[in-house]
Amino acid sequence: MKDSVKRSITVVALLLPGLGLIVGFVGIVVVMAVVQSLGFLNFLGESGFSLHFWQRQLSNSTFWKAFFYSTRMAVIGAFCSVTIAYPIALWLRKPFPGSHFIASMIKIPLLIPGLVAAFLYVNLISHSGFINHGLMAMGIIEEPLKMRNDPWGIGVIILQTWKNMPFALLLLAGAVRAIRDDVLDAAQDLGANIWVRFRRVVAPLTLTSLQAALAIIFIGAAGDFSFQVIAGPIRLNSMAQYMMRQQRELGSWNDAAVVGVSLMVLALIGSAVVAMISRMIVKAGEK
């Protein structure tokens, strides 16, 4: 008994500096956001319990536009990343001459910071960027096209995919490589073509990695600030951008807290829903 108590104390003591700090920190940050969203810790005015800030934001069309815009970008970004990553993971499953080189090249965006990625993209599509130069030199257009800050957020989706596809590939490649050859050979011997093998063997066996990739990419994309500010639509805000505006430009920490809490809920529930939808799609494909 004494030994087990001593052992438990040792484990707790070992976990405190790392895990304890993480749980404490995240807990405090979440509590700060929730408390401020409910009217407390108002740095500029009277503090006290109030649902005023929630009412104000939930009846504000800009809030909802930002909410749905961030959701849309996160869903499309996550699905585009895994859709591109899947065939590449399957293609690179077995090594062949040049496969190692291609795999290394694809990993490059993982090493590039997000802001640098945004610069590389803007450099290509800006008013005096490479694409406009090229199109004008070929005589396809006479005036440069305006592609930066496009109203549909295509630039943001391209950037999300550029940055996140290698991450999805990393997760999916491991899962795809773990599928035994005899399983795939057996399916082929039974007459399954590539598409059927993918639906009935590959997708179900890699479902966990697929869900992890989708959820992690969704969370990152839903909370995006820098891609949106640099390449996103000018008339639309992402949730992080809208939260920043509330705090920086309007000085309202409490309104920013409402947006922050909503963003956390979006990230957690949205990633779970995306993972669930992917499971449903894979299960439907199995039939």
SS (H, E, C) 166-180: HHHHHHHHHHHHCCC
Q: Give the span between the Cα atoms of 179 and 172, in whole angstroms.
A: 11
Residue 187 makes contact with other proteins by CB under 8 A = no
- The answer to whether 211 and 175 have CB atoms below 8 angstroms apart is no
- The answer to whether 89 and 173 have CB atoms below 8 angstroms apart is yes
Which of 44, 51, 105, 183 is in the footprint of other proteins by CB under 8 A?
105
Q: How many residues bind other proteins (CB under 8 A)?
A: 78
Binding part of the chain for other proteins, among 112-120, 167-175, 196-204, 275-283 by CB under 8 A, reads: 112-120
Binding part of the chain for other proteins, among 45-53, 117-125, 174-182, 197-205 by CB under 8 A, reads: 117-125
Residue 91 makes contact with other proteins by CB under 8 A = yes
Q: Give the span between the Cα atoms of 214 and 287, in whole angstroms.
A: 23
Residues in 207-226 that interact with other proteins by CB under 8 A: 216, 219-220, 222-223, 225-226
Least Å from the CB of residue 58 to other proteins:
18
- The answer to whether 85 and 175 have CB atoms below 8 angstroms apart is no
Residue 68 makes contact with other proteins by CB under 8 A = no
Strands (E), the chain: none
Which of 9, 19, 141, 250 is in the footprint of other proteins by CB under 8 A?
19
Which of 51, 52, 68, 130 is in the footprint of other proteins by CB under 8 A?
130
Q: Give the span between the Cα atoms of 259 and 58, in whole angstroms.
A: 9
Residues in 224-263 that interact with other proteins by CB under 8 A: 225-226, 229-230, 239-240, 243-244, 247, 253, 256-257, 260, 263
Binding part of the chain for other proteins, among 48-56, 103-111, 177-185, 197-205 by CB under 8 A, reads: 103-111
Nearer to other proteins, 123 or 283 (CB): 123
- The answer to whether 231 and 148 have CB atoms below 8 angstroms apart is yes
Residue 17 makes contact with other proteins by CB under 8 A = yes
Residue 156 makes contact with other proteins by CB under 8 A = no
Ramachandran assignment for 48, one of left (phi > 0), alpha (psi -120 to 50 degrees), beta (any other): left
User: By three-state DSSP, how is residue 48 classified?
Assistant: coil
Nearer to other proteins, 65 or 204 (CB): 65
Q: Give the span between the Cα atoms of 124 and 151, in whole angstroms.
A: 18
Q: Give the span between the Cα atoms of 53 and 130, in whole angstroms.
A: 46
Residue 282 makes contact with other proteins by CB under 8 A = no
Residue 22 makes contact with other proteins by CB under 8 A = yes
User: By three-state DSSP, how is residue 216 classified?
Assistant: helix
Binding part of the chain for other proteins, among 59-67, 93-101, 171-179, 277-285 by CB under 8 A, reads: 93-101
Least Å from the CB of residue 224 to other proteins:
8
